[in-house]
Chain A
Amino acid sequence: MSKLTLSKALNEGLRRALEADPKVMIMGEDVGKLGGVFRVTDGLQKDFGEHRVVDTPLAESGIIGTAIGLALRGYRPVCEIQFDGFVFPATDQIISQLAKMRYRSRGKISLPVVIRIPCGGGIGAVEHHSESPEAYFTHAAGLRVVACADAADAYSMIQLAIASDDPVIFFEPKRRYWDKGEVDTTAPLDSAQPLDRARVVLAGTGVTLLSYGPLVRTCVEAAMAVARERSVEVIDLRSLSPLDMATIGESVRRTGRCVVAHEAPVYSGLGAEIAARVTEACFYHLEAPVLRVGGFATPYPPSRLEEHYLPDLDRILDGVDRAFSY
Chain B
Amino acid sequence: MTETGLIQLLTPEGERVDNPAYPLDEAADIKGMYRDMVLVRRIDTEAIALQRHGELGLWASLLGQEAAQIGSGRALTPKDMAFPSYREHGVAWCRGLDPLRLLELFRGVSNGSWDPEEHKFHLYTIVIGDQTLHATGYAMGIQRDAAEDEAVIVYFGDGATSQGDVSEAFAWASVFNAPVVFFCQNNQWAISAPQDRQSRVPLYQRASGFGFPGVRVDGNDVLACHAVTRRALQAAREGQGPTLIEAYTYRMGAHTTTDDPTRYRLASDVEVWRLRDPIERVRSYLARSGQADSTFFAAIDAEANELGERIREGCRTLPDPAPLELFDHVYAGGSAILDDERERYAAYLESFEQTDTALEEAGL
User: Which one of A69, A70, A105 has the greatest number of beta carbons of chain B within 10 Å?
Assistant: A69
Given A51-B144, A106-B113, A245-B336; A57-B328 close (CB under 8 Å) = no
B124: nearest chain-A partner, CB-CB? A104
Is A134 engaged at the interface, CB distance under 8 Å to the other chain? no
Complex contact A61–B164 (CB within 8 A) = yes
Tell me how far the C-beta of B189 lies from the nearest C-beta in chain A, rounded to whole angstroms: 23
Contact among B143, B144, B175, B336 with A57 in the assembled complex (CB-CB below 8 Å): B175
Is B138 engaged at the interface, CB distance under 8 Å to the other chain? yes
Complex contact A70–B138 (CB within 8 A) = yes
Q: Which residues of A contact B335 (CB under 8 A)?
A: 196, 242
Contact among B122, B125, B165, B338 with A61 in the assembled complex (CB-CB below 8 Å): B165
Q: Which of A91-99, A125-133, A304-312 contacts B (4 or more CB under 8 A)?
A: A91-99
Q: Which of A107-115, A152-160, A180-188, A254-262 contacts B (4 or more CB under 8 A)?
A: A107-115
Is A228 engaged at the interface, CB distance under 8 Å to the other chain? no
Is B162 engaged at the interface, CB distance under 8 Å to the other chain? no
Q: Please report the C-alpha to C-alpha distance between residue A108 and residue B121 in the assembled complex, in whole angstroms.
A: 13
Q: Which residues of B contact A141 (CB under 8 A)?
A: 330
Q: Which residues of B contact A93 (CB under 8 A)?
A: 130, 133, 165
Q: Please report the C-alpha to C-alpha distance between residue A98 and residue B132 in the assembled complex, in whole angstroms.
A: 14
Q: Which residues of A contact B133 (CB under 8 A)?
A: 61-62, 64-66, 68-69, 93
B340: nearest chain-A partner, CB-CB? A245
Complex contact A96–B127 (CB within 8 A) = yes
| Contact mask for chain B residues 157-197; partner A; CB cutoff 8 A; 1 contact, 0 none | 00000001100110110010000000000000000000000
Complex contact A65–B130 (CB within 8 A) = yes
Q: Please report the C-alpha to C-alpha distance between residue A107 and residue B116 in the assembled complex, in whole angstroms.
A: 12
Q: Which of A71-79, A201-209, A291-299, A313-321 contacts B (4 or more CB under 8 A)?
A: A71-79
Q: Which residues of B contact A66 (CB under 8 A)?
A: 133-134, 136-137, 140, 172
| Contact mask for chain B residues 115-159; partner A; CB cutoff 8 A; 1 contact, 0 none | 110000011010100101111111111111100000000000000
Q: Please report the C-alpha to C-alpha distance between residue A110 and residue B123 in the assembled complex, in whole angstroms.
A: 13
Complex contact A61–B168 (CB within 8 A) = yes
Q: Which residues of A contact B141 (CB under 8 A)?
A: 69-70, 72-75
Is B110 engaged at the interface, CB distance under 8 Å to the other chain? yes
B332: nearest chain-A partner, CB-CB? A165
| Contact mask for chain B residues 254-298; partner A; CB cutoff 8 A; 1 contact, 0 none | 000000000000000000000000000000000000000000000
Complex contact A106–B328 (CB within 8 A) = yes
Is B331 engaged at the interface, CB distance under 8 Å to the other chain? yes
Complex contact A69–B110 (CB within 8 A) = no
- Chain B count of residues within 8 A CB distance of the other chain: 42
Is B112 engaged at the interface, CB distance under 8 Å to the other chain? yes
Q: Which residues of B contact A236 (CB under 8 A)?
A: none
Q: Please report the C-alpha to C-alpha distance between residue A66 and residue B174 in the assembled complex, in whole angstroms.
A: 13
Tell me how far the C-beta of A91 lies from the nearest C-beta in chain B, rounded to whole angstroms: 12
Complex contact A69–B139 (CB within 8 A) = yes
Contact among A69, A89, A97, A105 with B140 in the assembled complex (CB-CB below 8 Å): A69
Q: Please report the C-alpha to C-alpha distance between residue A244 and residue B171 in the assembled complex, in whole angstroms.
A: 41
Complex contact B172–A57 (CB within 8 A) = yes
Is B21 engaged at the interface, CB distance under 8 Å to the other chain? no
Is B111 engaged at the interface, CB distance under 8 Å to the other chain? yes
Q: Please report the C-alpha to C-alpha distance between residue A64 and residue B169 in the assembled complex, in whole angstroms.
A: 11
Tell me how far the C-beta of A49 lies from the nearest C-beta in chain B, rounded to whole angstroms: 10
Contact among A57, A108, A242 with B338 in the assembled complex (CB-CB below 8 Å): A242
Q: Which residues of A contact B359 (CB under 8 A)?
A: none
Q: Which residues of B contact A25 (CB under 8 A)?
A: 144
Q: Please report the C-alpha to C-alpha distance between residue A166 and residue B181 in the assembled complex, in whole angstroms.
A: 29
Is B322 engaged at the interface, CB distance under 8 Å to the other chain? no
Range class of the A interface residue count = 35 or more
In A26-62, which residues have CB < 8 Å from any B CB?
A: 51, 56-57, 59, 61-62
Is A176 engaged at the interface, CB distance under 8 Å to the other chain? no
Complex contact A69–B134 (CB within 8 A) = yes
Is B364 engaged at the interface, CB distance under 8 Å to the other chain? no
Q: Please report the C-alpha to C-alpha distance between residue A73 and residue B146 in the assembled complex, in whole angstroms.
A: 12
Q: Which residues of B contact A104 (CB under 8 A)?
A: 111-112, 123
| Contact mask for chain A residues 214-244; partner B; CB cutoff 8 A; 1 contact, 0 none | 0000000000000000000000000000111
Q: Which residues of B contact A69 (CB under 8 A)?
A: 133-141
Tell me how far the C-beta of B277 lies from the nearest C-beta in chain A, rounded to whole angstroms: 35
Complex contact B332–A97 (CB within 8 A) = no
Contact among B115, B130, B140 with A108 in the assembled complex (CB-CB below 8 Å): B115
Given A59-B168, A242-B335; A103-B113 close (CB under 8 Å) = no
Given A92-B127, A96-B130; A57-B113 close (CB under 8 Å) = no
Is A67 engaged at the interface, CB distance under 8 Å to the other chain? yes
Tell me how far the C-beta of B30 lies from the nearest C-beta in chain A, rounded to whole angstroms: 34
Complex contact B169–A97 (CB within 8 A) = no
Q: Which residues of A contact B338 (CB under 8 A)?
A: 242
Q: Which residues of B contact A1 (CB under 8 A)?
A: none
Q: Please report the C-alpha to C-alpha distance between residue A66 and residue B330 in the assembled complex, in whole angstroms.
A: 22
Q: Which residues of B contact A164 (CB under 8 A)?
A: 332
Is A144 engaged at the interface, CB distance under 8 Å to the other chain? yes
Is A121 engaged at the interface, CB distance under 8 Å to the other chain? no
Q: Which residues of B contact A73 (CB under 8 A)?
A: 137-138, 140-142, 145
Complex contact A97–B130 (CB within 8 A) = yes
Contact among A62, A67, A144 with B168 in the assembled complex (CB-CB below 8 Å): A62
Q: Which residues of B contact A165 (CB under 8 A)?
A: 332-333
Q: Which residues of B contact A199 (CB under 8 A)?
A: none
Complex contact B337–A243 (CB within 8 A) = yes
B112: nearest chain-A partner, CB-CB? A104
Q: Which residues of B contact A196 (CB under 8 A)?
A: 335
Q: Please report the C-alpha to C-alpha distance between residue A66 and residue B143 in the assembled complex, in whole angstroms.
A: 13
Tell me how far the C-beta of A59 lies from the nearest C-beta in chain B, rounded to whole angstroms: 5
Q: Which residues of B contact A15 (CB under 8 A)?
A: none
Tell me how far the C-beta of B306 lies from the nearest C-beta in chain A, rounded to whole angstroms: 29
Is B53 engaged at the interface, CB distance under 8 Å to the other chain? no
A-B contact pairs, 9 of them (CB 8 A): A65-B136, A66-B172, A68-B137, A71-B137, A72-B116, A93-B165, A96-B130, A101-B123, A165-B333
- Given A61-B164, A69-B134, A141-B330; 5 other pairs, CB 8 A cutoff: A57-B172, A64-B133, A73-B140, A96-B127, A244-B336
